[in-house]
Chains A and B, each alone.
Chain A
Amino acid sequence: MNKLLRKYGTQPIFYQFFRKMKLTILIVTVSILSCFSAETYSQTTKLTITENNSTLLNVLRTIEAQSEFKFFYNEKVDVNKQVSVEVTQKSITEILDKVLSSTSVKYKVLGRQIALYDKNEMEPFISEQQQGKKITGKVTDQSGAPIPGAAIVVKGTTIGITSDSDGNFALSLPSEAKVIVFSFIGMKSQEIDITGKTSVNIIMEVDAIGIEEVVAVGYGVQKKANLTGAVATVNSKELVAVTSPDFSNALSGKLPGLRVQTLGSEPGVYDNQIDIRGWGSMLVVVDGIPRWDFQRIDPSTIDNVSILKDASAAVYGVKAANGVMLITTKKGKAGNNEITLNSSFGFEQMTDYPRAIPNSIDNLILKNEAALVAGNPLPFPDYKKYTGEDPNYPSVDYWKLTVRDKMPMSKNDVSFSGGTEKITYYISLGNLHQTGIYKTNSMNYDRNNFRANLSAEIVKGLTANVIFGGMMDKRDDPYGGSSYDFMKQVWMQPPYEPVYANNTSPYYYDGQADRNPVAIINSDLTGSRQYQMKKFETTMSLAYDVPFITGLKVKGLFAYDVQYNIGTEWRKAYNEYKYDVTAKNYIPTGINNPTQLRKSFDEYMISQYQVSLEYKKSFAGGQHNIESLLLVDRRNTFGDGFGAQRYFSLDAISQIDAGLTDNQVTWGSNKILDGNMALVGRLNYNYRSKYLTELSFRYDGSSLFPAESRWGFFPAISLGWRISEEPFIKDNFSSISNLKLRMSHGVMGDDSGAGGFQYISGYNYPSDNYIFDGKTLTSGSSSKGLANPNITWYTATTSNIGVDGNLWEGLLDFTVELFQRKREGLLSTRAATLPSEFGASFPQENLNSDLSQGFEFVVGHSNKINEFSYNIRTNLSFTQQKWLHYEQSSAGNSYLNWTNVNENRLQNMIWGYGAAGQFQTQDEINTSPVQNANGHAALFPGDVKYVDWNEDGMIDSHDRYPIAHNEIPQTFFGAEMSGGWKGLSLSLLFQGATGYSQTPTEQLMGPLPWGRNSLTIFLDRWHHQDPLDFNTPWVPGKYPISRDGFGFGPNKETSTYWVVDATYVRLKSIELAYVLPVNWAKRIKAKQVRVYTNAFNLLTWKSKGVLFDPEHRGTGDGGDNGYKYPVMASYNLGLSITF
């Protein structure tokens, strides 16, 4: 505030600018072109001010502190004049009329900007009658949306105008005019050289300083300038390239500290690993209510996303230990009635994914070679005949037969938004369609989203908000195989086996693989699996500005969410065949017989209410500012579900009631009963936005714990100091626009992982079972174990130190955060203390503790050179975790103690052998330490050579040591770049991670699993020059010689041979967009037409040796032995029209 007052107080640009504009123009602009959201602000904003015997300056400060208004004036205005004012819920004009009535000061309102001038001066009207040339153009934001109400002023003069509702302007220029200045609140001012130009289109950029920006924080919003916590935020303008089905993909690499890893891109599975600072799954709050499935939200309905990374999350108490993500959806704006249509079409393509050998001869050479290695006769001496030309000697490329190259996808949505002063609305409908990799087109995903955000002022001061959202999706798969099964089979299916027995369709050949991969993706043959989710979210709230207490607001909120998950698994019986040549008949093998339907129905419900009191006040002319909140929050979660299974005698009708009652099965599932209650308080105080403090607490109760240990108190404190507001900086370093130091410290909790009702004794029912009569099952009831009266949540104490800076007006801005989180009381079972013969174990206790430390930084740069504006922001976050206490019994000996003990040790390490490459010669094998229990006998050149780490002459488990970080990256980084030139804009997002590894397994570590097919990578192996003549010389290769089965055991030990660093950098997204010139758009009566093309995962640079896409987990947690659906790149073309 001071900064602006100072700046424009001494440089009367605005003052002069307003002088020239006729009041009538202003009024006309406001009333006719009601799309001026900025203009309505002055009418809809009601303020309550009490300033007795104060100065005009103090009154102005108070108004600025309470609102988004900014005042501009020059030295002729006497701001130290004594004034008094006491108003309640009055508009700005009413207030100013009253305040200024006793002075010689007059004012003009333009949007949120108010100019004050002395009545003896000329009014700050902009003259329409200037001589000389004229310049026209359009002001838009980076997404191409028009900006109405932007100020366009000739530099060094008083001449200026504002843009109209379409962002257009036409300004008459004095002949000497060379540069015009564009400015708009929250955007960076731009100076444009207009020499020789008659039109100029300008793209305004969000002000990187962003200190006027408002950021969502727990239970409210806060000005970024006053923020003291570690909060990262991204708004809809920055969420370009959001055609990805998974909303979290749009956040990847954008928010420092938010870590997103795509494990697989199976449609409808939402297989992203997401956390904040590596802390585990976070609480996600959508429009004020904790909700799940946020990845399914239609990204185009998101207004902004904040993540709370430190004690600022403490107001969420017992669920907040892993940080909080706040998602706010779009709201309507008064007057701005708009319809937006958005369509994009594209396709997905697999990133790196290993393939199986596509031809028989290569496969059979490996098989024969493996037989020779084992000392057996060749199983396929006639392998050379398998060229595929003779039907008796097939060679089938199963991958090509089943997997398509390009998977189409499309996304369409329409939104309506706008409103009047009393009622605003935002309504959106969206559809997404995605297809899977099968050539049979049997894997499909459809999602429909809708959202209606309505707000109405019922009576003066009383506002009602209703948010109604829905997500309905449907995922279809063939029954024959999940993607896991399919990947496994298509890798394993030997190419020398035909697709059809006797090469006759549809007699699918019954081969060695568990299933014929061509058959399993045929849902007409094998049936289908369908998973539907229907979710409805309702939030209703009433807010009341208490009339005679200035700044007091009462709010009540009620939310009710329901979700249904409906699973339908239709398993059709079918046959695979062998052909008996002599009898000339097909011999069937029945699969999935009898036909069966499994139907499951799960229901979830969350109800939540909140009652809150908010109080806001500024004292002493805005020098002391207080905001406070007291809130009661109650939440109830309920889940129930059941399923049923029947067999069918015919497969024409897939309805459960058409099934046979014999052998039917039912089951229950998903019993959830969970409640939380809390009292939340927060107090913010700042002195002139220079010294900032925030205190908060949450007194929280969780039904997971017994009454005695149910309640917890979670306090937090944070402090901020805007050094740049101090005179010694302001006066000496004009290049420092913003410099803020802040720190926070707070306690949060987590009740997850405390399985329900541990404090109650009793018997779980049903659990286990027995047949007492030879026919029917009697469900069992087993003791829940010792009751656990002491169990409670664990606590996480988070400390954060941050610095925000902005230099040279945005040429350089940065944020650095240092953090640590100490968790204490993590649930664990006391180690080896109760004798086993006691027959029961200690219940879980809050025993373990760990420490996570790390840092983040963001460096940004934005600039504009002529009409080219650009913006670069890079971020990096690093986290490391170690155990402080890990409850475990001591192992039998010192080596085991050393290897097994977790205490004071980094988490996420992999123990394994060091591999010194591969043996090169038999001599090398013979002279090396004994490699395994079989000695040297079974080894060949090319086999993995392990390091005798403890130098005892043999390789055994004692030679293991920490060889790598596991599949969870320590460091994530991202770099966003965007540039705009006229209507064109380009944005790129690079994203990467390091400090982790990928480990292959099963088929990735050995060729010929179950003697079937092999991956092509294994062709690059140690072999003899003539692979089937072991007397010929060796030819080195990347992998050991072919062996039957899953490879040779000793080669497959976890070692540095297999565990590879998975560091990568990828062009996560790129989007090129063009906003059509306005006159073109007008032809279809549109305000704006934007065409764009974007791509995800277009380019990847990764470490050598990483077999998969680097985000895929390989064998690690969530990697499914490598059979996980591949990660996709996608390419889209889109069109967005706003009317």
Chain B
Amino acid sequence: MKQRFKYICSLLVITTLSWTSCTKFLDKQPVNVLTETSILSDKAAFTTHMAYLYNQIPFENFSKWIWLSYYTDEMVNCRQDAGTSEEFSFNSWGSSYTLIRALNNMIEKVPSATAFTTEKEKTEALAELKFIRAYVYFTLVQRYGGVPLITEVSPLPASGDPAELYKARDKASDVFKFIETEMESAINGMSSETSVYRFNKWSGLAYKSQAMLYAASIAKYEEVQLNGVIGIPNSEANHYFGVARDAAKLLIETGPFALYSQDADKVKNYHNLFFDKSNTNKERILVDAFVFPIKANRFDLFTAPFSHRGGEGYGGRFDPTYDMAESYEYTNNANGAIKLNNPDGTPIRYANPADLFKDKDPRFLASAIFPGSPWMGTTLQIYGNVIEGGVLIGGNGADGLSQPEGTATGFYLTKWADPAPPRPIAYSSSDVDKMMMRYAEVLLNYAEAQLELGNEPEARKYINMIRERAGLPAFVNPVTMNDYRHERKIELAYEGNRYWDLKRWRIFDDVIYNTDTYALWPIYDKDNNAYIFTKAKLPSDKYTRTFTSKLYYSRLDGGIIASNPLLVENPGY
């Protein structure tokens, strides 16, 4: 019996030992996780983290920016009801603060990091991080007004009480002050290399001019509300106009940039400006790069005329409006109104529909195609009705208007569309870069600041540089603010700027208020093999838009305020 007991015991011991001896077995290490130590001690690992940070910057790039134009008067989407803007919100609050936390963490730790071989490298890295942070705060204050300024990484409260982390919204003026000083010091520290793919001294100056101009406009055109959480005192306007002017001026005077003018054909030149990826394109200041196939976009897919769309469908998603088309001047006439009718009121019959836009601003011809435009070897067939035997019947041009995914307005956007795609159009076939910041904007920023500060001649000089490059006659008479704004609208059309310009000038609700959208509605006269054109109102249930004043700032949605009761909601929500 004793023998057996021993036997059982030893078996139990062996069994148990085989278990305890290898509980370490459960300590696994992940194969795809970098430690913070390696990020701070290895330059390559540090660069990977920078790649993440850049990826997270709320740039209005090809995945975000183009949609902003749907909310302005610039364009509509053939498949999507026009946004009333009522429900539109950026929802960038949470993701921006996640990014800010990561930036704060690096700003805290880079000074003691060993990933850098020279002090200069480290200073530049730190300055770049700070600039990104300042820029992120700028995007926040644009969207929401004043936000809590968080510049340190806070740990989870030891007490477990989240109330320790509550922080009220800072005043908009304080946030802009923070942006001004941070950008200022970052620009001093950043590299003066000319890489256009990340922030450096030059792109820093350009963005500083943008941010400071924004602050100045807010100060000038907006009322202070919520005890300063929204709005900047009027008195600070000129200060910010000055800072914006100086930043732009420094860039213009010392930077290696120039307006792109490499082709005598003004249409080609303006179109190529967005495609030329070479270093000779000196218009580029900051570029969100695309390279097929590793990072491609769907621009060609979304813009394709109906008959040219690829096997994957889509197309016709970006349709410039009739009003936008009229906004472009003729080279020989500042009034851009489209000539539909003879003086007697009868419709003009165009044998060649493209004649409708003869002598239009080359920038229009470089940005949009319309009935009769040549495109990829064909002539676009855009019409919505046919006259046959003197009778008006339904019709379906190969490229629209009644095609299910053809243009809704008679126009297709071509500003970034490649007329000779290097590969068949597909969901990810386009690799045109998105210029986040280009020299023309800096010139315009400079001109605006000068104009606002009363230096009209200097402003006119720079506006005329833009017009001349575009192929339009220069302004001879003093320019008004409206002239300037019109020029800015045209030069930077569809690039996302107009959305913010309408906001900072506080004219959004004038421009877009129960605003109908119109289409150029061609009718093909089969009997005469000619086109007549009408201006047609698009169905109001889909395409009539409005902008109410509360929309100047986005809603802090329920979750944001619920998580921090010290926050106040923006007016009107």
Contact = CB atoms under 8 A, between A and B. Distances in A.
Contact of A771 (B165, B291, B403, B560): B291
B310 A839 contact: no
21 contacts: A378-B394, A548-B4, A632-B18, A636-B25, A673-B28, A701-B26, A768-B56, A771-B288, A772-B197, A777-B294, A781-B34, A781-B45, A781-B52, A782-B56, A783-B102, A836-B94, A838-B154, A839-B99, A889-B558, A1011-B404, A1012-B404
Given A769-B295, A778-B48, A839-B98, A675 B404 contact: no
Which size class do B's interface residues fall under? 35 or more
B178 interface: no
B83 to A, nearest CB: 14
Contacts of A889: 558-559, 562-563
Given A573-B424, A889-B563, 4 more contacts: A549-B8, A668-B32, A766-B32, A833-B162
Interface stretch (A69-77, A336-344, A387-395, A584-592): A584-592
A774 interface: yes
B529 interface: no
A663 B393 CA distance: 49
Contacts of A195: none
Interface stretch (A211-219, A432-440, A754-762): A754-762
A24 interface: no
A836 B394 contact: no
B48 A781 contact: yes
A591 B100 CA distance: 43
A613 B27 contact: no
B485 interface: no
B85 interface: no
B293 interface: yes
B229 to A, nearest CB: 14
A934 B148 contact: no
Interface string B99-129: 1111011000000000000000000000000
Nearest to A367: B394
A22 interface: no
A546 interface: yes
Interface in B485-531: none
B423 interface: yes
A611 interface: yes
A700 to B, nearest CB: 10
Given A675-B25, A679-B19, A701-B26, A772 B385 contact: no
B11 interface: yes
A468 B259 CA distance: 73
Nearest to A767: B52
A780 B166 contact: no
B313 A834 contact: no
A860 B56 CA distance: 63
B52 A780 contact: yes
Interface string B58-96: 000000000000000000000000000000000001100
Interface string A682-700: 0000000000000000000
Contacts of A676: 26
B150 A839 contact: yes
Most A CB within 10 A of own CB, among B32, B39, B393, B423: B32
B475 interface: no
Contacts of B402: 376, 379
A665 B7 CA distance: 61
Interface string B365-393: 00000000000000000000100000011
B394 A762 contact: no
Interface string B396-434: 100000111100000000000000000110100000010
B424 A768 contact: no
Interface in A484-514: 512, 514
Interface string A589-617: 11111100000000000000001110000
Contacts of B12: 613, 630
B344 interface: no
A676 B541 CA distance: 59
B465 to A, nearest CB: 27
Interface of B: 3-4, 7-8, 11-12, 14-16, 18-19, 22-23, 25-36, 39, 45, 47-56, 93-94, 97-102, 104-105, 147-148, 150, 153-154, 156, 162, 165-167, 195-198, 277, 287-295, 307, 310-313, 385, 392-396, 402-405, 423-424, 426, 433, 541, 558-560, 562-564
B33 A763 contact: yes
Interface stretch (A143-151, A176-184, A702-710): A702-710
A663 B313 CA distance: 24
Given A701-B26, A774-B277, A778-B48, A763 B563 contact: no
A765 B32 CA distance: 5
Top 6 nearest A-B pairs by Cβ distance? A839-B101, A780-B52, A591-B311, A377-B394, A835-B564, A1011-B404
Contact of A834 (B52, B153, B563): B563
Contacts of B15: 611-613, 630-632
A763 B45 CA distance: 10
A835 B162 contact: yes
Interface residues of A, number: 95
A774 B291 contact: yes
Nearest to B433: A774
A1045 B405 CA distance: 10
A576 B30 contact: no
Interface string A915-946: 00000000000000000001000100000000
Given A379-B394, A379-B402, A552-B8, A702 B47 contact: no
B35 A763 contact: yes
Given A376-B394, A889-B562, A770 B51 contact: yes
Most A CB within 10 A of own CB, among B162, B385, B392: B162
A27 interface: no
Nearest to B25: A675
Contacts of B27: 703, 707
B54 to A, nearest CB: 4
A381 B19 CA distance: 82
A833 B563 contact: yes
B168 to A, nearest CB: 10
A642 interface: no
Contact of B313 (A514, A701, A891, A938): A514
A703 B26 CA distance: 5
Given A376-B394, A378-B394, A783-B102, A761 B36 contact: yes
A836 B93 contact: yes
A764 to B, nearest CB: 6
A331 interface: no
Given A774-B287, A837-B150, A1010-B404, A380 B51 contact: no
A677 B19 contact: yes
A129 interface: no
A832 B33 contact: no
A650 interface: no
Contacts of A753: none
Contact of A701 (B23, B196, B289): B23
A934 B541 CA distance: 8
Given A613-B11, A784-B33, A840-B101, A768 B4 contact: no
Given A665-B294, A671-B31, A763-B36, A839 B102 contact: yes
Contacts of B50: 770, 772, 778
Contacts of B32: 668, 671, 764-766
Most B CB within 10 A of own CB, among A549, A612, A710, A837: A837
Contact of B26 (A668, A702, A777): A702
A554 interface: yes
Nearest to B377: A587
A838 B165 contact: yes
A763 B52 CA distance: 10
Contacts of B18: 611, 632
A670 B316 CA distance: 38
A194 interface: no
Contact of A777 (B101, B295, B385): B295
A365 to B, nearest CB: 14
